[in-house]
Amino acid sequence: MTDDNNFPGDAGMPHLDEMTCLLYIERQLDRARAQEISAHTQDCAACRTLLRALERESRLLTRAMLEEEEALPARLAHFEERARRSMQWIWTVAFGLAATGVYALYTGYVEPWQQQLEQAGFGGSNLLSLLIFQGAFWKGWQSMVTLLEILALVTVGGFALAVLRKRVRRGSALALVLAGFCITLLLQPVAARASEMRKGESVGVAADETIKGDVFLFGDRVHIEGTVDGDVFLFGHNTSVAGHVKGDVIAFAQILEVNGQVDGNVRAFTNTLTVRGTVGKNVLTFDDLVNLESSGKIGGSLTLFVENLNLEGMLGRDLLMFGKHLTLSGKIDGAIKMKGDLLTINSSAQVGGPIHFEGNNPPDVSPQAKLASPVDYQKIRRRPRYMEGHYYVWQVIWLAAFVLFGLVLFQLMPSFAGEAVADAERYGASFGLGVLVLFAVPIAALIACITVVGLFVGLTTFFVWYAALYFAQVIVGAVVGQWLMGRTRELWPLIGRMAVGLVIVRLATVIPDLGGWVKLGVILWGLGAISLALYNRFQPTLSASSPGPYTPPLPPNTTVGGIQPA
């Protein structure tokens, strides 16, 4: 904008443009320019009139906005009292439910599993650690159980601080959580030993070779004939361990044959596992077929999720099996716990501990078999779950757990939770994005896991995604609650609505036949809403420090923000 655009005024000078006039009356010009304008308006009637009109317009605007004294609405007048009251009952309900949920979850679920697993030779572990962490690639994952426990404690601590001490700002609480996370990470034992990686169509460790440290082997055919003084990670089609592994063997393969000696544990995710050699500690496996041949020996326990198990060799401790068919001809020093279809105990079998079999068919036990006690058989009952009383108890427990989960998340991330709830009302976008995230994220996480470098990222993504499946239900609960009780943007009333809405959502998801579809819909909807909120969060917005929109040039000699004209 330049004065060239202006028209000649009364004094032979160009008229002032409106922008300059506005900046003048708003006192945004520097003294020199303001004096220039002032002098000009002494002589130019048109510009003087324009200045006066703009000033009057400013006054009219201010008057129009201030004039109408709209009374404070009644619901605002009692805001504080209402907030305090609503908080009280929500606190009572939420903590009552939460305490019940935590207690019931521990005593009814975690503790029995722990006991079972301890009996099966996994002392000190829980199911989660057994399935995920102990079976994962990295030894340090075992320590992640402790990390999770510490994280949980720190989160609860931060939550309590944020709630109980108003002076502690939310940022501080979150900082505590993050600090706890960082400290715990720092305290974690890192993969102490160096690791080696080998790739190829046919890779392995030669018979005369000794590897100090862990080794990662990728190939179509992977054979270990030498010695590995560390852990072995196998990724391949046809794999075997004929040599000596002093650590653990973790395998993802079509076929795994253990013909040599493994001093540690074997964790196998394979189609067929055959043990002809010796495993010093425990074996955990997800397979189609497992053969523990007559020459095979497992010093610890054997835990399987398997179709068929032929056990002809020796097992030093307990057998825990979830599968179809167990054929036992060998020797087990510990107990047997099996849930499956069929149990066959041949004449050569020896079992030192009790045998509990929950199945569809009575066990076929040879009279010549040497058993410490008769088989305790329990037929699997096929009653609909909802016909049983404890089903409803569990539903209440789950509801309480959901409310607790939602409460913690809403308290820790009130702004984000509010945004996600608001975004959930963009139904089409939520569902569409929900479908995408539900399927795409785990695939992406899996791909990330394949590369060893992206393992942490992949697993973290997977856990976040998994947690989001639950958070999604909380978000939808909040939306349903708002439908019933009206909209709110306050935290505690929103939590109250979330609790009420969750009751409705959980009820809908347990309807026979239909409930599963409802649950899927709820997860898609909520997951999409969370993703939308995340997207909006990270969407770039205009800020003062950003390049910002185009700024037109101001008239020469104009300095916005200048001092008031004399």
Partner 1 sequence: MSAPGKSEPSEAIARARTGDADAWGVLYREYAPAIFRFCRRALPTREDAEDATMDIFAKLMRDNRILQYDQSRSFSAWLYKVAANHCWDLLRRRKTRQDKETEDVENVPLEHPDPNQLDRLIEQKTSEEVRCALDKLGTRARMALVMRYYSDMSYDEIADALGVRRAFVGVVLLRARHELRQALGQGGALAAGGTS
Which of positions 91-150 make contact with partner 1 (CB under 8 A)? none
Q: How far is the CB of 82 from partner 1 (least distance, A)?
A: 9
User: Would you say 320 and 120 are in contact if contact means Cβ atoms under 8 Å apart?
Assistant: yes
Cβ atoms of 306 and 286 closer than 8 Å: yes
Helical residues (DSSP H) of 388-513, grouped into ranges: 389-412, 414-423, 427-450, 455-485, 491-509
Among 95, 378, 489, 535, binds partner 1 (CB under 8 A): 489
From the CB of residue 25, how many other CB atoms can be counted at a distance below 10 Å? 18
Nearest distance, CB of residue 553 and partner 1, angstroms = 9
CB of 16 to partner 1, least distance (A): 7
Identified binder of partner 1 from the candidate list 35, 42, 62, 107, rule CB under 8 A: 62
Q: How far is CA 96 from the centre of its chain?
A: 25
36 is an interface residue for partner 1 by CB under 8 A = no
Out of 127, 170, 348, 429, point to the residue binding partner 1 (CB under 8 A).
170
Regarding 79 and contact with partner 1 (CB under 8 A), the answer is yes
Window contacting partner 1 (CB under 8 A); options: 57-65, 111-119, 141-149, 453-461: 57-65
213, 193 contact by CB (below 8 A): yes
**What residues numbered 528-547 form the site for partner 1, per CB under 8 A?**
536, 541-544, 546
Please give the span between the terminal C-alpha atoms of the chain, in angstroms, as a whole number. 25
Residue 382 CB coordination number (10 Å): 6
Which CB, 384 or 561, lies closer to partner 1?
Answer: 561
* From 68, 123, 381, 428, residue interacting with partner 1 (rule: CB under 8 A): 68
Instruction: Say whether residue 175 binds partner 1 (CB under 8 A).
Output: no
- Minimum separation from the CB atom of position 173 to partner 1 (A): 10
Asked if 160 is part of the footprint of partner 1 (rule: CB under 8 A), the reply reads no
21 or 336: CB nearest partner 1: 21
Spacing of C-alpha 384 from chain mean position: 31
Residue appearing with tokens 């909520």: 526
Among 123, 443, 561, 566, binds partner 1 (CB under 8 A): 561
Whole-angstrom Cα Rg for the chain: 35
- Count of residues in the chain: 566
**Closest CB 11 distance from partner 1, rounded Å:** 14
Give the interface segment with partner 1, choosing from 69-77, 131-139, 316-324, 376-384 (CB under 8 A). Answer: 69-77
Q: Which is nearer to partner 1, 318 or 419 (CB)?
A: 419
Contacting residue, 60, 187, 446, 447, with partner 1 by CB under 8 A: 60
Question: Can you tell me which residue has the tokens 């107990």?
Answer: 335
Tell me 72's DSSP state.
P
- Of residues 64 and 387, the one with the C-beta less far from partner 1: 64
* Nearer to partner 1 among residue 19 and residue 507 (C-beta): 19
Angle between the N-to-C axes of helices 389-412 and 141-164, in degrees from 0 to 180, rounded to the nearest 10? 70
- Closest CB 552 distance from partner 1, rounded Å: 5
Number of H helices, E strands in the chain: 15, 24
- Residue 414 in tokens: 């009130």
Q: Is residue 422 a contact residue for partner 1 (CB under 8 A)?
A: yes
Q: Which of 198, 221, 339, 487 binds partner 1 (CB under 8 A)?
A: 487
By C-alpha distance, which of 445, 198, 241, 276 is closest to 250? 241
- Distance between CA 90 and CA 100 in Å, rounded? 15
| Six token digits for residue 159 | 């939550």
Reduced to 3 states, what is the DSSP secondary structure of residue 266? Answer: strand
Cα dihedral sign, 270-274-278-280: positive
What are phi and psi for residue 354, nearest 5 degrees? Answer: -70, 155
Q: Return the number of the residue (173 or 242) whose C-beta is nearest partner 1.
A: 173
Stretch that binds partner 1, among 42-50, 117-125, 235-243, 323-331 (CB under 8 A): 42-50
Q: Which of 31, 35, 42, 57 touches partner 1 (CB under 8 A)? A: 57
Residues 334, 332: Cα–Cα separation, whole Å: 6
Angle between helices 427-450 and 455-485 (to 10 degrees): 160
- With binding defined as CB under 8 A, does residue 28 bind partner 1? yes
User: Which listed range, 45-53, 178-186, 210-218, 241-249, lies at the site for partner 1 (CB under 8 A)?
Assistant: 45-53
Residue 174 · residue 412 · CB < 8 Å? yes
Binding to partner 1 by residue 70, rule CB under 8 A? yes
Contact 527, 439 (CB under 8 A): no
For position 447 contacting partner 1 by CB under 8 A, the verdict is no
Residues 533, 539, 544, 549: what is their CA dihedral angle, to the nearest 10 degrees?
Answer: -130
Size of the site for partner 1 (CB under 8 A): 73
Give least dist CB 489 to partner 1, A: 5
Residue 560 sits in the site that holds partner 1 (CB under 8 A): yes
Task: Using the minimum distance from each CB to partner 1, give the nearer residue, 76 or 185.
Answer: 76
Report 4-23 residues binding partner 1 (CB under 8 A).
Answer: 5-7, 15-19, 22-23
Q: Is 83 in the site for partner 1 (CB under 8 A)?
A: yes
Q: Which of 180, 414, 458, 501 binds partner 1 (CB under 8 A)?
A: 414
User: 389 or 561, CB closer to partner 1?
Assistant: 561
Q: Residues 195 to 254: which contact partner 1 by CB under 8 A? A: none
Residue 54 in the binding site for partner 1 (CB under 8 A): yes
Q: Token match 């940022």: residue?
A: 171
CB-CB contact of 336 with 317 (8 Å): no
Is 479 an interacting residue with respect to partner 1 (CB under 8 A)?
A: no
Which residue lies nearer to partner 1 by CB, 63 or 379?
63
